[in-house]
Amino acid sequence: MAQSSLTVAASVVAVLAYALALVEHERLAAVVRWSLPVGWAAHGAAIVLEASGVGAVHAGARFGFAPALSVTAWLVLAVYGIESRQVPLPGVRRVLALLGLCAVGLALFFPGEVRPHLASPWMPVHWVLGIASYGLFGAAVLHAALLTNAERKMRGPRAAVPAAPTGLPLLKLEKLTFRFVEAGFVVLSAALLLGWWYASPWRWDHKTLFSMLAWLVFAALLAGRRAFGWRGRMATRWIYTGAALLLLAYVGSRFVLEVLLTRAAGPV
């Protein structure tokens, strides 16, 4: 089902701004510096326009793997925008610009399906909580990647003071990473409880199975850190594993249904 012209226009602006943020050119440094915030703002406008149904032919909530990825990328970029005001993250900017570009582009081509009649009035809350957990765990993965990169450099022939490439002390970066994991775990738990509460009957489908596996991985990680002091490679591997399972839960299953099987998906 086609998106509104306003949503498409905002998405195109976001794509162009994100693409400009990938450019490395001294003469365009000032323009490039502002391109990521502009892309993020246009990206957010596209999400709001799509969610509110402004200019759309058919009213109703739209669900799909690409909209979920789009909101997740926008949340991760929001975290980056807040942190970059206090800690410079130059090596992350282009990666996030590429992430935003791909997310908005996918949402343009795969906008999902409209659900004018939801199975439960609580479903939008469940969906928002689930996407919020995606964003929090996405931020945790971003910080875990910075940790992995910093540890790799520390083990190199020119190992120096234990600090991340951003200049942030490793212990502080590690603590911040687990703050995102803990927040994501709480929000994911709320999403699963709400889904269990309104679902009638409860179904053990692929989405439920992968979500529960991800929840168990993050629960084990937090328990292991508290009981055994897990950190470093051990901790980051658990974060990557849990995030991959969570990605397969909704985005993966919807991708198979919407793209690979090319048929309408069942209830979310």
Report, as an integer, the average pLDDT of 3-14: 91
**Residue 104 predicted with pLDDT over 70:** yes
**b/e burial code for range 67-85 (CB count within 10 A of at least 16 → b):** bbbbbbbbbbbebbeebbe
- What's the rounded Cα separation, in Å, for the pair 148 and 131? 25
Q: Which of the two residues, 123 and 255, has the higher pLDDT score?
A: 255
| pLDDT tens by residue, 132-175 | 999 999 999 999 998 888 878 777 665 554 455 555 677 888 99
pLDDT band of 265, cuts 50, 70, 90: very low
pTM above 0.75, yes or no: yes
CA atoms within 13 A of residue 129's CA, in its CB half-sphere: 17
As beta bridge partners, residue 103 has none
| pLDDT tens by residue, 181-240 | 999 999 999 999 988 887 666 677 888 899 999 999 999 999 999 999 998 889 999 999
Q: Which of the two residues, 101 and 57, has the higher pLDDT score?
A: 101
Residue 9: Cβ-neighbour burial (10 angstroms; 0-12, 13-18, 19+):
middle
Mean pLDDT of the chain: 83
